[in-house]
Amino acid sequence: MAGSPAVAPLVALVGNPNCGKTALFNVLTGSRQKVANYAGVTVERKEGSLLTPSGLRVRLLDLPGSYSLDPLTPDEQVTADVLLGRRAGETQPDLVVCVTDATNLRQNLRLVLSLKRLGLPMVVALNMTDIARRKGILIDAVRLSAELGLPVVETIGVKADGVRALAAVLDRVTPFATARHAVPWQTPAAADIEHDQAEVRRILGAVGGERIDGVTLSDRVDAVALQPVLGPLILALILFLVFQAVFAWAQAPMDWIKLGVGAAGDWLGGVLPAGLLKDLLINGVLAGVGSVLVFLPQIVILFFFILVLEDSGYLPRAAFLLDRIMGSVGLSGRAFIPLLSSFACAIPGIMATRTIQNPRDRLATIMIAPLMTCSARLPVYALIISAFIPRRELWGGLQLQGLVLFALYVAGVVSAMAVAYVLTLAGRHRHVQALMLELPAYHWPNLRNLGIGLLQRVDIFLTRVGTIILSLMVILWALSSYPAPPPGATGPAIQYSIAGHLGAALAVLFAPIGFNWQISVALVPGLAAREVAVGALGTVYALSATGSDVSSALTPLLTRSWSLPTALSLLAWYVFAPQCLSTLATVKRETNSWRYPLIMAAYMFALAYAASWLTFRIATALS
């Protein structure tokens, strides 16, 4: 064996979607993975490293799943570009490991054949051989190797000993994987595809073991899960469970986090001398950390369900069932779960759009997710409704207050659908959108994959989104605290700060929609998160109450000092306004650019202003 090279050789894992490639990658690299994006696109880049039995360090790149080197999606574009050495900032792999699903060789071998034409050193991993064996599919790996003229290794993607053989083969092949044929890539013609097909049939005939016509266990599950009436019912049940979990189960851990942060603040308050540093640490940094951590329970719960649904193979079925409904406003069937979870919080919802492969569909879903009524709007709605909407019973025991709350939810959904529809019209393609979605065989989710997937989501949120949110929170704190009120000042402290002056200036702008200066000032710190506005109103009205008492102390005060049109206008404002910097920070991270969060903020503020203006004018005219 040659001496180990200066840079560890790069081995790329390639394969069809659903071939068990990522599970194999997880076993090979463990949790030593770096997750990032490919430069300029939102396609996820996963790299890890492993030590072969002989002690050779190898870098392993998990390329996005592809059906062909002739790309249709951005994922496939990245795979093709990296393999062909055309992607800026990426080195061409020294060795390609093509992962194939042993239960679906007829489809997978086509990719093997076209990869082989590239001339890169290559190994074929015959994956999921355990499942194949249980189905009665026995593939002669030695014969397959001879027919393909490539090394073939049998692997079981979820078991450590199932991949040891692959690591050993890397040892044999990698040191020699330097000679490369520079084969110019040509888009395969129809004749090439048919030639490959004949070749696949010949090889399958030689290596044996294929069952096509038998009714599998997956088929029996699908007979119920995709049944036109039962299928949607089961889906509704699953979605209800997910929604319930994100909404309700997360509440207790979120309360613990809030309590913990509060306790830490009390402790710091006790040990630190009064002054600037104390205020910065408690009201700036600690409050900022709290506002990041508070999202974690919802993110963990939502992604637990998404990973289970994805790993088991149900997620594409859900997309199949919802394709027609979501398609009518130009969205993908996969948009449903992100939008549903946005009712709890738009941040996990926007992160969940990663399961939407088509970038246009994904962007449209991200853009409308914050219009879903998130749980942070509830404290604001509850405050205004209890202060202004009479507690009156309508016909059939229907409460007027409840009806108004329901109307606010409906307003969010209807406007989201309208915006999605407008986006479709604006970005209309010459052709209808393709679906062509694979429905893989069901299988039990793997715990290791679940764990690694969850850790990666948490890590991405804390390190990339969390840092933006934290800095924004500290800036917002500074804006609301500086400059300090002059000695002998009578008004609330915030009134003398930059935020106070900003609010006073905004009051001019907000006068036509009925907002007084107190509301305008409260909206500035209220940019941190929607529910913060309640506390901020308490501060502006110089209430001494804190925590949950603010709301009850504010209610009679607001009833006295605001008119009904002002209150209704503020409700309309909260349906649309992007009063949540954390959401905008998440959009920035997920789209890799400031462009989309800025567009989102602009369109949502415009909608909010228009809705509030209309509400205020109509309510004033009627009263």
Partner 1 sequence: MVNSSDMQLTELASGRMARVVSVSAEHGAAPPEIGRRLAELGFLPGETVRIVARGLMARDPIAVRIGTGTFALRLFEAACVRVRPEQPQPA
Residues lying near partner 1 in the complex (CB under 8 A) are found at: 67-68, 70, 72, 103-107, 110, 190, 193-194, 197, 210-213, 218-219, 222-223, 226-229, 231-232, 316, 319-321, 323-325, 430-432, 434-440
Tell me how far, at minimum, the Cβ of 320 lies from partner 1, in Å: 4
Q: CB–CB of 242/305 below 8 Å?
A: yes
**Which one, of 270, 261, 254, lies nearest residue 289 by Cα?**
261
**Closer residue to partner 1, CB minimum distance, 437 or 462:** 437
DSSP 506-566: HHHHHGGGT--HHHHHHHTGGGS-TTHHHHHHHHHTT----TTHHHHHHHHHHHHHS-HHH
455 Cβ contact list (under 8 Å, min separation 6): 31
**Closer residue to partner 1, CB minimum distance, 105 or 112:** 105
Tell me how far, at minimum, the Cβ of 64 lies from partner 1, in Å: 16
Strand partners, 34: 47
Q: CB–CB of 331/417 below 8 Å?
A: no
**Closer residue to partner 1, CB minimum distance, 212 or 271:** 212
**Closer residue to partner 1, CB minimum distance, 356 or 571:** 356
Tell me how far, at minimum, the Cβ of 437 lies from partner 1, in Å: 4
DSSP label of 342: T
Tell me how far, at minimum, the Cβ of 360 lies from partner 1, in Å: 15
User: CA 305, CA 307: separation in Å to the nearest integer?
Assistant: 5
| CB-count exposure of residue 149 (10 Å: 0-12, 13-18, 19+) | exposed
Tell me how far, at minimum, the Cβ of 196 lies from partner 1, in Å: 9
* Residue keyed to tokens 């394709």: 323
**Closer residue to partner 1, CB minimum distance, 72 or 378:** 72
Tell me how far, at minimum, the Cβ of 362 lies from partner 1, in Å: 18
**Closer residue to partner 1, CB minimum distance, 382 or 437:** 437
**Closer residue to partner 1, CB minimum distance, 218 or 555:** 218
For the beta carbon of residue 111, count every other beta carbon within 10 angstroms: 22
| CB-count exposure of residue 426 (10 Å: 0-12, 13-18, 19+) | exposed
Tell me how far, at minimum, the Cβ of 125 lies from partner 1, in Å: 18
User: CA 304, CA 288: separation in Å to the nearest integer?
Assistant: 25
Tell me how far, at minimum, the Cβ of 211 lies from partner 1, in Å: 8
Helix (H, G, I), strand (E, B) or coil at 238: helix
Strand partners, 153: 125
User: CA 130, CA 343: separation in Å to the nearest integer?
Assistant: 41
Tell me how far, at minimum, the Cβ of 364 lies from partner 1, in Å: 18
For the beta carbon of residue 560, count every other beta carbon within 10 angstroms: 8
**Closer residue to partner 1, CB minimum distance, 223 or 504:** 223
**Closer residue to partner 1, CB minimum distance, 106 or 360:** 106
For the beta carbon of residue 505, count every other beta carbon within 10 angstroms: 12
* Residue keyed to tokens 């997978």: 108
**Closer residue to partner 1, CB minimum distance, 274 or 432:** 432
Strand partners, 98: 14, 124
CA dihedral 556, 560, 564, 569 (to 10 degrees): -80
Q: CB–CB of 34/118 below 8 Å?
A: no
Strand (E) or helix (H) holding 435: none
**Closer residue to partner 1, CB minimum distance, 36 or 217:** 217
User: CA 402, CA 405: separation in Å to the nearest integer?
Assistant: 5
DSSP label of 103: G
Tell me how far, at minimum, the Cβ of 601 lies from partner 1, in Å: 34
Tell me how far, at minimum, the Cβ of 153 lies from partner 1, in Å: 21
**Closer residue to partner 1, CB minimum distance, 27 or 105:** 105
Tell me how far, at minimum, the Cβ of 130 lies from partner 1, in Å: 17
Q: What's the one-letter identity of residue 37?
A: N
